[in-house]
Copies of this chain bind each other. A is one copy, B any other.
């Protein structure tokens, strides 16, 4: 399936690179919805060339985010290595949203249901896998409310995306209140 197409011509490779870094910057600064024309301009390349290399916005997303989503695995690994189930779980949330807060584009990727690139989907699945384990552990240790689920985390993620967007200074406080509500001793 994947045709091992002959290498790109020198100028094409250069332009592809320029487009990629332009898109990476603009996504991070302005989110996933930047006009493609802005990307082309910033890359100092014509709009036609942009479409030659990346026929759809999704192609940009697929090229840029899998690498960034690797950070998710790091965060997951770090949390899984933590022997304290509560600290592991809460730390995971902190790290996850800190990541989102740094990158408007990533924030969009994780908040939307949309992005369909298979590599993105699988990265999210891996992330959900880690989260699942962290949740189970914390529940079994009796420190996390027993009905907590991945679905709740998905909802939280969309809410956090919004909070990060409109008040980037307050997301930590907001999260800490929510997390407080998850502690098992709080139930009742």
Give chain A's interface residues, CB within 8 Å of chain B. 145, 151-152, 155-156, 158-163, 166-167, 170, 173-174, 176-183, 185-187
Residue of B nearest to A186 (CB): B186
From B158, B159, B166, B177, A181 is in contact (CB under 8 Å) with B177
Are A162 and B158 neighbours in the complex by a CB distance under 8 Å?
yes
Which residue of the partner chain B has the closest CB to A170?
A: B155
Cα distance A181–B152 in the bound complex, in angstroms: 15
- Listed from nearest, the 6 A-B pairs whose CB atoms lie closest are A181-B181, A180-B181, A162-B162, A186-B186, A159-B159, A177-B181
Q: How many Å lie between the Cα of A156 and that of B173 in the bound state?
A: 11
Interchain CB contact (< 8 A) of A178 among B145, B181, B183: B181
Shortest Cβ distance from A151 into B: residue: B170
Please report whether the interface of chain A is mostly helix, strand, loop or mixed according to DSSP: helix
Q: Is B186 within 8 A of A174, CB to CB?
A: no
Instruction: Tell me the complex Cα distance, A157–B163, Å.
Output: 10
Q: Within the complex, what minimum Cβ distance (angstroms) separates A165 from chain B? A: 9
Q: What's the Cα separation between A178 and B161 when bound, in Å?
A: 16
- Say how far A44's CB is from chain B's closest CB, in angstroms: 34
CB nearest to A154 among chain B residues: B167
Most B Cβ at <10 Å: residue of A151, A152, A156, A166: A166
- The smallest C-beta distance from A159 to any residue of chain B, in angstroms, reads 4
Report which residue of A156, A176, A178 has the largest number of chain B beta carbons within 10 angstroms of its beta carbon.
A178
Query: Which residue of B151, B155, B162, B180 is within 8 Å of A187 (Cβ)?
Result: B180
Q: List 25 A-B contacts (CB under 8 A).
A: A145-B177, A151-B170, A152-B170, A152-B173, A152-B177, A155-B163, A155-B167, A155-B173, A159-B159, A159-B160, A159-B162, A159-B174, A161-B162, A162-B162, A176-B181, A177-B178, A177-B181, A177-B182, A178-B178, A179-B181, A180-B181, A180-B182, A180-B187, A181-B186, A183-B186
